[in-house]
């Protein structure tokens, strides 16, 4: 993380101080903000490579801040959550967050997640392969990063796109929860089954699937998922 710019947005001064020490030890440049408005302002002035954003803040909460950031920037963003993790993940997904971490957090886990999100961001900037999927209803173009339903483009976050592409590449194969976690999120996420469940649920909605009788992403209870050919 040497020379990476990290923007920390949290109204907890002690947490900001702790997180600042954690990232500076890794060689990162750290910018801090004590509320959402200050955070959005510093996004424009400092152009960070990564944003760490708390959910619970006075005034404009983290979800609102995330939505404002996503109107102008695709900077990787990790939300810190302290309430119901799954419910906040869903709200964070809607707002455009890339990852979620429960408070209080472990310093090593925070760093591992931060590095993974940054790697994903660099991967998205790199040249893509030519994998395509098109069945006349759903179309995926990896090189252009386009997903169409009945020729209408749908907006996916980078993680949602990676998830859909991984499933489509392996159409007809049973994919376990751990396989999906490792290949879409990385080894640091092993055991985080809630990520798979929440993202699959959200992806199904974006694809316009009936959750009771999905057309593409089928559930194998206790095992994983299979993308129907």
Domain 132-227 indexed as CATH 1.10.8.60? no
* Integer Cα distance of 201 and 196 in angstroms: 8
The residue that leads in pLDDT, 143 or 66, is 66
pLDDT tens, position by position, 171-180: 999 999 999 9
Ranges 26-35, 140-149, 184-193: which has the least confidence: 184-193
Compute the average pLDDT of residues 6-10. Answer: 97
The pTM is what?
0.76
**Is 132-227 in the same CATH topology as 5-125?**
no
The CATH superfamily label for domain 5-125 reads: Response regulator (3.40.50.2300)
Domain ranges of the chain: 5-125, 132-227
The pLDDT score that the predictor gives to residue 94 is: 79
Q: Is residue 129 scored above 80 in pLDDT?
A: no
Closest C-alpha among 129, 115, 116, 195 to residue 160: 195
The pLDDT score that the predictor gives to residue 85 is: 66
User: Over the chain, what HEC string results?
Assistant: CCCCEEEEECCCHHHHHHHHHHHHHCCCEEEEECCHHHHHHHHHHHCCCEEEEECCCCCCCHHHHHHHHHHHCCCCEEEEECCCHHHHHHHHHHHCCCEEEECCCCHHHHHHHHHHHHHHHHHHHCCCCCCEEECCCEEEECCCCEEEECCEECCCCHHHHHHHHHHHHCCCCEEEHHHHHHHHHCHHHCCCHHHHHHHHHHHHHHCCCCCCCCCCEEEECCCEEEECC
Ranges 32-36, 114-118, 189-193: which has the least confidence: 189-193
Compute the average pLDDT of residues 115-135. Answer: 76
Q: Is residue 37 scored above 90 in pLDDT?
A: yes
């Amino acid at each position: 993380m040497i020379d990476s710019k990290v923007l920390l947005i949290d109204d907890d001064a002690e947490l900001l101080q702790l997180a600042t020490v954690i990232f500076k030890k890794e060689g990162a440049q750290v910018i801090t903000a004590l509320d959402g408005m200050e955070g959005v302002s510093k996004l424009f002035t400092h152009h960070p490579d990564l944003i760490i954003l708390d959910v619970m803040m006075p005034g404009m909460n983290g979800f609102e801040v995330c939505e404002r950031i996503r109107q102008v920037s695709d900077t990787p963003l990790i939300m810190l959550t302290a309430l119901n993790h799954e419910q906040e993940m869903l709200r964070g997904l809607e707002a455009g967050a890339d990852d979620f971490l429960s408070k209080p957090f472990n310093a090593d886990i925070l760093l591992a997640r931060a590095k993974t999100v940054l790697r994903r961001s660099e991967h998205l900037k790199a040249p893509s392969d030519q994998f395509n999927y098109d069945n006349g209803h759903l179309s995926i173009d990896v090189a252009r990063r386009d997903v169409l339903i009945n020729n209408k483009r749908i907006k996916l976050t980078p993680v949602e796109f990676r998830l859909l592409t991984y499933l489509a590449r392996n159409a007809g194969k049973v994919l376990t929860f751990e396989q999906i976690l490792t290949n879409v999120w990385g080894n640091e996420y092993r055991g985080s089954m809630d990520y798979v469940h929440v993202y699959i649920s959200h992806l199904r909605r974006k694809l316009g699937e009936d959750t009771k009788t999905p057309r593409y992403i089928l559930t194998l209870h206790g095992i994983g998922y299979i993308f129907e050919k």
